[in-house]
């Protein structure tokens, strides 16, 4: 099912949680609503589920206007961050509960619940109570319960944040597998960019209730619309060097170096930020380099080293192959690739 939202706004008294959103979620896709806490992503999810009333704007499921439709009529499945399993019911009863409410007869609903349990791999645990399950298992049960009534839309609120690191990796792949197997249109909320990047077809990045950018994970990473997007995606975070434009060059704010920029939109004397992905800075030579930096320290990340360098009074992180051995204070010649280097207006953050 395709979800369309049209100028959607949510206000709590004077606070605007979601501001004038217009966008579209495509049928059968897994979409991540990504943003820092308080950005309105959960509010958005709750409006889609119908728990929260909408202040302004419309929500359409395919051609149906569901803006004022009560949650139970929308045909959505929702998985809560704390899973919200009923503690006094067994796994089987929990999964079958939505059908019990629909007055499906006992034999049929148990059959369907077992089918669902098999899909999410909890068919060995049907007689257990939720407190006897691990976090990952509870999560699976919650997903099965959300899927049993064949929802048109599956919503997941921070589905991985209550799990430890190893389970998180496992469950995010599981969520992807279940989503692909059922083909249900799925929207999930997360504050973890890695989670969003790894499994979603599309990422919707939000900040302070505003849409920042929506696109595929790789497109978002390669082509950020503004400084916030560039900073939010990627680990280690992108390097920011502040400076200004002079004679077609980016000049560091303390005038300690400059780089030729081929960007006709950049205006003379404009205050700018140069964003450089860690993997886009290579080691050059004295004859062929863009900037000179001073080596400070380095950390081992397993397959490579992460080096901290100083450029004037600013800092930059780059990947370093273990072939290089630098000492603190050594001069490092940096050569930037064209991919992964962006120029942003300092004040507005907009990409130039």
Give the interface with another protein as residue ranges (CB under 8 A): 49-51, 71-72, 76-78, 80-82, 84, 86-88, 97-98, 100-102, 145, 149
Q: Nearer to another protein by C-beta: 69 or 283?
A: 69
Beta-carbon count within 10 A of 153 CB: 21
Give 163 or 332: the residue with its C-beta nearer to another protein.
163
Q: Measured from the CB atom, is 28 or 71 closer to another protein?
A: 71
Least Å from the CB of residue 46 to another protein:
8
Q: Is the Cβ of residue 72 or residue 134 nearer to another protein in the bound state?
A: 72
Question: Which CB atom, from 162 or from 315, has the smaller least distance to another protein?
Answer: 162
Give min distance, CB of 124 to another protein, in A: 24
Any long-range contacts for 137-141 (C-beta under 8 Å, 24+ apart)?
Answer: 138/83, 138/85, 139/79, 139/83, 139/163, 139/171, 140/174, 141/83, 141/85, 141/91, 141/94, 141/95, 141/117
Shortest gap between Cβ of 18 and another protein (angstroms)? 18
Q: Find the radius of gyration of the CA atoms of the chain.
A: 25
Closest CA to 226 of 320, 343, 142: 343
In angstroms, give the least distance from the CB of 16 to another protein: 23
In angstroms, what is the minimal distance from the CB of 81 to another protein? 8
Q: Taking each helix axis as running N to C, give the angle between helix 91-101 and helix 135-147, from 0 to 180 degrees, rounded to the nearest 10.
A: 20
Nearer to another protein, 55 or 270 (CB): 55
What contacts 315, CB < 8 A, 6 or more positions away?
239, 296, 308, 309
User: Which pairs count as long-range contacts for 220-225, CB under 8 Å and 24+ apart, including other chains?
Assistant: 221/197, 222/339, 222/340, 224/275, 224/342, 224/351, 225/350, 225/351
CB 162 to another protein: min, Å: 12
Q: Which two tokens stand for residue 155?
A: 């919503």
């Amino acid at each position: 099912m395709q979800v369309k939202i049209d100028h959607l706004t949510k206000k709590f008294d004077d606070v605007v949680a979601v501001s004038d959103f217009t966008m579209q979620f495509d049928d059968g896709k897994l979409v991540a609503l990504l943003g820092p806490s308080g950005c309105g992503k959960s509010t958005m999810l709750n409006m889609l589920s119908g728990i929260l009333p909408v202040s302004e704007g419309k929500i359409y499921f395919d051609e149906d206007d569901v803006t004022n439709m009560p949650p139970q009529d929308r045909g959505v499945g929702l998985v809560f961050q704390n899973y919200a399993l009923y503690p006094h019911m067994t796994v089987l009863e929990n999964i079958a509960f939505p059908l019990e409410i629909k007055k499906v007869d006992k034999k049929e609903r148990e059959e369907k619940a077992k089918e669902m349990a098999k899909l999410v791999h909890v068919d060995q645990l049907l007689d257990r109570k939720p407190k006897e399950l691990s976090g990952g298992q509870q999560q699976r049960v919650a997903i099965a319960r959300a899927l049993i009534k064949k929802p048109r839309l599956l919503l997941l609120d921070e589905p991985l944040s209550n799990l430890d690191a190893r389970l998180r990796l496992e469950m995010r792949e599981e969520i992807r597998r279940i989503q692909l197997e059922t083909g249900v249109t799925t929207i999930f909320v997360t504050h973890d960019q890695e989670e969003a990047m790894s499994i979603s077809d599309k990422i919707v990045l939000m900040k302070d209730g505003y849409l920042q950018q929506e696109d595929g994970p790789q497109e978002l990473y390669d082509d950020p619309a503004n400084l916030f997007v560039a900073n939010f995606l990627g680990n280690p975070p992108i390097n920011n060097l502040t400076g200004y434009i002079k004679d077609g060059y980016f000049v560091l704010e303390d005038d300690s170096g400059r780089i030729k920029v081929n960007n006709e939109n950049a205006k003379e004397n404009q205050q700018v930020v140069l964003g450089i992905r860690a993997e886009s800075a290579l080691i050059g030579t004295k004859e062929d380099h863009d900037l000179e930096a001073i080596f400070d320290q380095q950390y081992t990340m397993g397959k490579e080293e992460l080096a901290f360098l100083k450029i004037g009074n600013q800092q930059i992180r780059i990947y370093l192959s273990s072939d290089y051995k630098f000492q603190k204070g050594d001069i490092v010649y940096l050569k930037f690739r064209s991919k992964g280097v962006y120029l942003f207006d300092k004040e507005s953050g907009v990409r130039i």
